[in-house]
Structure 1
Amino acid sequence: MTVASPSLVQQLATQLQRPVDAPARQRAAALLVDWLGCALGGLRGPLAQQLQGVVASCAPGPCTALSAGQHDIHDALLINAALGNVLEMDDVHRAAILHPGPVVIPVALAATQRQNGNGHDLLDAIVRGYEATIRVGRALGTSHYRYWHPTSTAGAFGATAAAASVLGLDATQTADALGTAGSRTGGLWQMRHESVPTKSLHNAQAAQSGWQAALLAQAGLRGPRYILEGEQGLFAATAPQAEPALVVAAEADWLIHSTSLKPWPACRHAHPAIDALHDALASGRPGDGAQVVAIEVATYAEALRFCDRAEPQTALQAKFSLQHALAAICAHGTPVLAHYTDAACADPAIARLRSAVQVVEDAACSARFPAHYGANVRVQLADGRVLQAQRVDAWGDPEQPMHPADIDTKAMELAQWGGVEPGLAHALIVQVRNLAEGGTLDTLTPLLSQVSPCH
């Protein structure tokens, strides 16, 4: 009798059982601070108010839904997992081409609250959720990314891993849960071409799916073990150039350490060009931004596919516009959220500068993608000078990390953008940082419950 080899989800489930170390927990706490800032900043948008209305009449529960009080886990995940990427400032993993935090962290937080877990339970769940998300995401690759939203696709696996960690599922149960979640995962990019908030809802649905899959596995329900590599599995259906071995490839450390953070309020594909323009202008003289007559950006093909948008009309479109990102820097300097609004799109000065930006593909940058997100910028000034700069990686990548103080500052600024009082925002950040040192949710949960809607 031939015994079938363990499936990819079985092998992944076994890998997820290993203990989480202190450095990984510290990284998880830093990413929790970053997610919290992003989610609190998202309270300012209309989606937050719409979702608050959806859960307003729902029964209370043990989980905190930001700005909406205490709810059951399903409702908390609807709000918290949707809010994390509203501002397009959520964390990213380059090789997987996705954002682990907005899906994984809300599940880890809500599940820990529901199960009366401690700070280490929460952080360990985040670490394991990132691991599963990144491993599946990088295996799906660029052929999946062309049409599918991998944060939703791979995120469902990460949500499952996070929930399984909190619930204490063994490797067999975790494999079943991963199979169940994977059988219903995915999300199509068509929503990018229309002014809709569906991208954020993909995250919420992935989070809810992962939690439900873990709960079902705990109850004994089995899931398809070969959901990834099977003849009618996820790779065959959605990723013609998938690299299955990357799901279980040996790694020296937890993959949460290979994530990147976003300092700027735009799509990550715009960040290398933003940094390169900063470098170019810094090589000249103060005030050179006002003298710009032409900018050429040479970057990788996916950046152009997502962010070549010469005339954005809305705040969301501006976040996916290389032209707008660079024009705003020339007009106003260091990027802030106020530069990415409907009013900023209509600003004649920024519109004039957008028309001066030319974007082209750079073969070398395309060849390095997705391991590195790079750009070259050439700036022509009115006095005839030409300023140039190149970025292979962007600020916030592991090669050029944001320091803890930078992460905390970003979170504070985003929280205040969302209407959160500075004292409360600071207290939340302190309590999250304390989790890695043995802090509990006993103090954090009441603080989260104090967050009020921003109208």
Structure 2
Amino acid sequence: MSLTSELVRLIRARRVGEDDLERAALFVVDTLACAVGARDTAPARAIAAVAPWGTGDIGRQAFHFGGLAHILELDDLHRTSVTHPGTVIIPAAAALAETGGADGRAFLTAVLHGYEACCRIGNAVGKAHYRVWHNTATCGPFGAAMAAAHLIGLDDERTVWALGNAGTQASGLWEFLAAGAMSKHLHTARAAESGVLAALLAREGFTGPASILEGEKGFFVGLCPDPDPEAVLADPAAPWQLALTSIKPWPCCRHTHPAIDAAIALHGRIAGRLIADVAIGTYRAGIDVCDRPKPREPYGAKFSLQHCVAAALADGKVVQASFEAEARERLADLRARTALALDEAVNAGYPGAWGAKVAVTLAGGERLEEVRAVCKGDPDYPLTREELSEKALDLFALGGVARAEAGRTIDAVYAMAKGAPVAQLFSQCFTGPAGRASAAAM
């Protein structure tokens, strides 16, 4: 039996409890809010012009939602797979659930299934994959296809076909970072759409390779220098992978978050005293992606450990404004005195633990240090439902949605765990007055 076939059986054999559905609803709220909050950005306007929601094209609707959800860098993160599963799986499931009139429990179950497939395959790609490939883009199509398969009622054989054809569409390169290009949002958009198309094709009898993962010309051989295929099926009794996923409190690359958390703690200890220099110790992937001492635009600043730590040390917080021109200029001197290096102890824990060490030397010579193995928003230190709802309300406001209306939308998502219908909830978010205004501004 192929790995894909065994993965489908493993996922479908798992019990879905009430707490699982309620937790899935939290992630839907978070992902939807991230997308709505991004509606008036330049990448979102481009996506809306090319792939508007509401055309009846399910794949394009998944593309629309998936692209928007990744723009603000506030979307969720699964640590061991190094994926942002919500930006791919939830848009795919949302487009199909709304079109098919699914009830909330079926939709949320599909979300759980999608996270499981995406993250388990991501757990197996090995560390070297991430040096060139964006794991969310390569592993995401599998998750989107798995979620879609549940919603359209594919049997196991056709689900395997869907995953096979999702895998052959895997792509997404990190080269966009060199120029600060918008391609990262295309990664999540295409991953969501690819999974939907693969499932819909499978329903029509369009076959796909069962050995897409482990085959001689398959995913692991083609994209993964150091894969661990056994990780796909490892620990079948573990919690749902969704429960092992982090939710971001700060709007920047997740690799910066442990250092931000440490720096915020140091901000309180420094109490306004002058900083002579800063040393950040991190893991290899953090350096590969976030060593940017002189970011020239907001997106580059969001991928700069030096900038994020400088903002946290200086201001005690990191918000959207922390990446704009004024903040980049104000923090330039502190960034220049911030050194980034590989910390062997921190690196040894990655990707199971995304840690950081931040040390500050004050002008008088005193040295202060904070170390983090986890940070706010991780499963070990989660946001409360109230904190998540407040984050969502702020993002809806950023997207032009009144607080009362946003509150009703959030409540409607939470109600899905009790069986409330999906209805037109996502259409209301993407084609309502604020959404039309953003698209019209293009």
The bucket for the TM-score relative to the shorter chain is over 0.9
**2:294 counterpart of 1:311:** yes
Q: For 1:323-380, what per-residue CA distance to the aligned partner results, in whole angstroms no more than 9, with x for missing partners?
A: 11112123332111111124432x2x21111112111110001110000011111112
Query: Measured at CA, do residues 22 and 451 of structure 1 come closer, stay the same or move farther in structure 2, by a change above 3 Å?
Result: farther
1:27 matched to 2:23 = yes
- State the distance in 1 between where 2:28 and 2:61 align: 16
Q: What is the identity, as a one-letter code, of the residue corresponding to 2:3?
A: L
The one-character-per-residue Cα deviations of 1:11-33 (angstroms, maximum 9, x if unpaired) are 11112223422121111101011
User: In the alignment, which residue of structure 1 is the partner of 2:263?
Assistant: 277
CA positional deviation for 1:148: 0.8
Residue 175 of structure 1 aligns with an amino acid whose one-letter code is V
The answer as to 2:57 corresponding to 1:76 is no
Distance (Å, rounded) in 2 between the aligned partners of 1:183 and 1:74: 17
CA distance in 2, matches of 1:354, 1:419: 33
2:401 maps to: 420
71-80 or 154-163, which moves further after superposition? Answer: 71-80
Aligned to 1:60: none
Q: In 2, distance between residues paired with 1:261 and 1:376?
A: 21
Consecutive unaligned residues of structure 1, counting only runs of 5 or more, are: 1-5, 57-64
Residue 320 (structure 1) aligned to one of 303, 320, 330? 303
Question: Which residue in the other structure is 1:295 paired with?
Answer: 278
Contact 2:89 2:192 in 1 (8 A): yes
Equivalent residue for 1:97?
A: 82
Contact residue 155 and residue 207 of structure 1 kept, 8 A: yes
Whole-Å Cα distance in 2 between the matches of residues 196 and 443 of structure 1?
A: 33
Counterparts of 2:346 and 2:86 in 1: how far apart (Å)? 26
| AA partner of residue 403 (structure 1) | T
Q: In 1, Cα distance between the equivalents of 2:316 and 2:264? A: 9
The runs of 5 or more residues in structure 2 that have no matched partner are none
- 1:285 CA displacement: 5.5
Report the equivalent of 1:231: 216
Counterpart in the other structure of 1:337: 320
| Residue type of the alignment partner of 1:207 | A
The 3-state SS of whatever aligns with 2:369 is: strand
Give runs of aligned pairs for residues 6-405 of structure 1, distance below 5 A. 6-18=1-13, 19-55=15-51, 65=53, 69=54, 71-252=56-237, 253-282=239-268, 284=269, 286-288=271-273, 291-345=274-328, 347=329, 349-405=330-386
Aligned-residue offset at 1:446: 6.2
Cα distance in 1, alignment partners of residues 390 and 433 from structure 2 = 18
Q: Is the CA contact (8 Å cut-off) linking 1:13 and 1:172 kept in structure 2?
A: no
Corresponding residue for residue 61 of structure 1: none
**Counterpart position of 2:415:** 434
Cα shift at 1:451: 5.3
Q: Distance in 1 between matches of 2:59 and 2:170?
A: 17
Q: 2:80, 2:352 within 8 Å by CA — same for their partners in 1?
A: yes
CA positional deviation for 1:304: 1.1
Tell me if the contact between 1:276 and 1:377 (Cα under 8 Å) persists in the aligned partners.
yes
- Letter matched to residue 228 of structure 2: E
Give distance in 1, aligned partners of 2:114 and 2:187.
17
Task: Report SS of the residue matched to 2:346.
Answer: helix
Aligned to 1:62: none
Q: Distance in 1 between matches of 2:206 and 2:192?
A: 19
- Residues 358 and 369 of structure 2 are in contact (CA less than 8 Å); yes or no, is this contact kept in structure 1? yes
Q: Which runs of 4+ in 1 moved over 6 A?
A: none
Q: How many residues align?
A: 434
User: Structure 1 residues 451 and 243, CA, compared in 2 at 3 Å: closer, same or farther?
Assistant: farther
- The range that moved more, 249-258 or 150-159, is 249-258
The CA deviation at 1:127 is: 0.3
Question: Which one-letter code corresponds to 2:260 in the other structure?
Answer: I
Q: Kindly provide the amino acid, as one letter, of the partner of residue 308 in structure 1.
A: D
What code does the residue aligned with 2:413 have? V
TM-score (norm 2): 0.94
Task: Give 1:382 deviation, angstroms.
Answer: 2.8
- Residue 432 of structure 2 aligns to which amino acid in structure 1? Q
Contact 1:17 1:170 in 2 (8 A): no
The answer to whether the 8 A contact 1:156-1:210 is kept is: yes
Q: TM-score under structure 1 normalisation?
A: 0.92
For the residues of structure 1 that align with 2:90 and 2:198, how far apart are their CA atoms?
Answer: 16
Q: Please identify, of 353-362 and 130-139, the stretch whose mean Cα deviation from structure 2 is larger.
A: 353-362
- Percent sequence identity over matched residues? 38
RMSD of aligned C-alpha atoms?
Answer: 1.6
